[in-house]
Amino acid sequence: MAIKVMIACGSGIATSAYAAEEIIKIAKGIGVDIDVHKERIQNVMANASNFDICFVTSNFKQDVGTKLVRVDGLISGINEDAVIEDVKAALLEAAAKYNAD
């Protein structure tokens, strides 16, 4: 079953579009199936519970009750390798949960 991921940025159109492409690639690379939904940051709070992971391209830090991963490094290139590892870890963790259920 595919993991449901939300990818959010300020307008839901620019950096989330790029981050989505990169996250899809990362997921493919580790053999995890994902369903991607792009969203505005403003709507993260309201919709987070419908997803397994929320990826955000800014320093949004509120507790949304769902696993939140910052991916602005994918855009700036700062600590990009570490961010990619965070993304992989979050995807694998969510996938493991599905398999356990």
Tell me which stretch binds other proteins (CB under 8 A): 4-12, 27-35, 44-52, 92-100. 4-12
CB of 99 to other proteins, least distance (A): 29
CB of 60 to other proteins, least distance (A): 9
User: Per CB under 8 A, does 26 bind other proteins?
Assistant: no
- Could you tell me the CA-to-CA distances from 76 to 12, 56, 83 in Å, in that order? 17, 13, 11
Q: Which of 2, 46, 78, 82 binds other proteins (CB under 8 A)?
A: 78
Tell me which stretch binds other proteins (CB under 8 A): 29-37, 46-54, 69-77, 91-99. 69-77
User: Per CB under 8 A, does 23 bind other proteins?
Assistant: no
CB atoms within 10 A of CB 73: 18
User: Per CB under 8 A, does 7 bind other proteins?
Assistant: no
> Residue 15: which residues within 8 A CB-CB, separation 6 or more?
9, 57, 58, 72, 75
In whole angstroms, what is the distance from residue 21 CA to residue 62 CA? 25
Angle at 3 between CA 9 and CA 29, to 5 degrees: 85
